[in-house]
Amino acid sequence: MNKAIKLDVSKTLGFISQNDINAQAALAKKCNETLHNGTGKGNDFLGWLNLPSSITAEQLKDIQQTADTLRAKCEVVVLVGIGGSYLGSKAVIDSLSNYFDWLQKDRKNPVIVYAGNNIGEDYLVELLEYLNGKSFGIINISKSGTTTEPALSFRILKGALEKAVGKEEAKSRIVAITDAARGALFTLATNEGYKKYVIPDNVGGRFSVLTPVGLLPIAIAGIDIQQLVAGAADMEKHTTPEVPFEQNLAEQYAVVRNELYKKGKKIEILANYHPKLHYIAEWWKQLYGESEGKEHKGIFNASVDFTADLHSMGQWIQEGERTIFETVLSIEKPNKSLQVPTDGENLDGLNFLAGKQVDFVNKMAELGTQLAHVDGGVPNIKISLPELNAYYIGQLLYFFEKACGISGYILGVNPFDQPGVEAYKKNMFALLGKPGFEKETEEIKKRI
C-alpha cells in the first residue's frame, strides 16, 4: 500500500504560534476554494489543477509509444526548452535516474541533454561536438516557437540533425510540443510532419510537468510515467477544499510560509540531503519565484544541497541575517544499501561508525543541522518522502503546485502570470535590432 509524503511544521513554532496558523485556516480554505471555483486572478491558467486525474490511459499510452520510438532510434535526445519547458523534466529525470548511467556504454536509456535554456555559444558548439557521430533526436518545446533561446538552439540542432541523417529521417526524430493551432513551431511541425503534442492554453510553463512537456522526456529516460501521474492524482485528491485543514498539506504549507513571511522571514531556502534532488529545487525556485514575486511582494526562493553546502553556505545560514527559514526535503529510506567498513588503522577515526548505514550518518547530519539552525533562529519546515520513486515524486510535484496557488492567493497576487519577465526581452530585442522594436532601440540608445 502506498504511503504519502508528510509535512512537519513543529520546528516553526516559537517563531510563529499554532494559534497564528489556525487563525489562517479559513483564509487558506477560501483560497483553495477560489482555485477550484475558478473565480480568482489568473483563472484562465488553471488547467493544471485537475490535470493528474484527467490524464487518460490512452494519452499515456501514446506518449509512451512516442518515447519508445525515440528510445529505439536515439542514443541521445536533446530537450530544447527554457524555464518550465525543461526544469520539470530535468527535476524528475535527475531525481530518479542512476547518477552514472550516462557514462555506461551498455546503458538501457538514451542520454537526455538540454539546449535552449541559455544563449551560450561555447555550450552549443560543445553540444554539437558531443552529438557528432551519435544517433540523436530532438524534442522542441515552445508554445510560440519564437522564444529566443529555444528557437535559436532548435534552428542550429535541426540543421545538424538533417545534415547527419537526411531531412526525411530527421522528421521521424523530431517531436514538437507546442500550441494546438497557431504559432511558428506549430506551423513548422505541421509543414514538416513532425509528431506533435499540445501544451494546453490553460497550463503555464512552470505548471506543465505533468503535460507532454514533462511526460515525454521523462518516459524517454525510462521512468514510469504512470506511477508519476498516479502519485500526483492521489495528492490532487488529498488537497481539495473538502479535505480538512488539519489534513490538507498544501493549505498548511501555504499558511505557514506566509505567516513566517509576516514575521520578517523573507527568504525560503529549500534544502535537501540527497544530491539527486538538486533540480527539484531548481524547478521549485521557478514555480514559487515566478508565481509570487510581484507587486514588490513575495518570498525570495533559494536552495542548498546538504551536506555539501554546509561547508559553504552553512555559516551564513547559522549566523547571518535572520530573514530566512528552511524547508527541508528528506528521504526516509534510501533505495540502496551501503555500510561503513572497519579499517584496521583507523587513521580517519571513523571506526565508531563501522557497521552503520551511510544513510544513518546522513540522517544524523540532517537532524543535527536542523537543531542547530532552529537554535540559531532559522525556522524549519520538513517535507518527508517515504522513498525516492516516481509515485512520491509525483505527489511532491503536485503538492508544491497546489500549495503555490493557495499561497499566491493568500499573498494577494496573481500566481499565474509573469509580467516582469517581459522587461528584459524588450530591451534585448531592441539591442539586437529586431524588426518592430525601432522605437525601443532609439530610446535605449540614450541610456547606454
Q: Could you give the residue numbers annotated as active site?
A: 290, 311, 425
Specify burial of residue 27 (Cβ count, 10 A radius: 0-12, 13-18, 19+): middle
The Cα 362–Cα 423 span in angstroms is: 43
- Give the closest residue to 96 by CA, choosing from 218, 214, 217: 218
Task: Please say whether the beta carbons of 269 and 302 come within 8 A.
Answer: yes
Nine-digit cell string for 127: 553540444
- Give the closest residue to 220 by CA, choosing from 380, 320, 111, 330: 111
End-to-end Cα separation, the chain, in angstroms: 63
- Give the closest residue to 401 by CA, choosing from 283, 305, 261: 283
Q: Which residues pair with 80 in a beta bridge?
A: 115, 140
Find all residues with CB under 8 Å of 117, minimum gap 6, and list them.
81, 82, 83, 86, 149, 150
- Alpha helices by DSSP H, listed for 24-56, are 25-37, 51-54
- Alpha helices by DSSP H, listed for 179-297, are 184-192, 212-220, 225-237, 249-262, 278-292
| Residue pointed to by grid coordinates 539527486 | 276
Q: For 243, which DSSP code? A: S
**377 three-class SS:** coil
Half-sphere exposure of 50 (CA within 13 A, CB side): 7
Say how many C-beta atoms besides its own lie within 10 A of residue 176's C-beta: 25
- Give the closest residue to 412 by CA, choosing from 7, 22, 34, 83: 34
**273 three-class SS:** coil
The Cα 57–Cα 183 span in angstroms is: 29
Find all residues with CB under 8 Å of 446, minimum gap 6, and list them.
none
Nine-digit cell string for 418: 509573469
The Cα 313–Cα 321 span in angstroms is: 13
CA distances from 354 to 333, 339, 346, 367, 420 (A): 20, 7, 10, 20, 54
Please give the torsion angle defined by the CA atoms of residues 342, 347, 349 and 350, in that order, rounded to the nearest 10 degrees.
-30
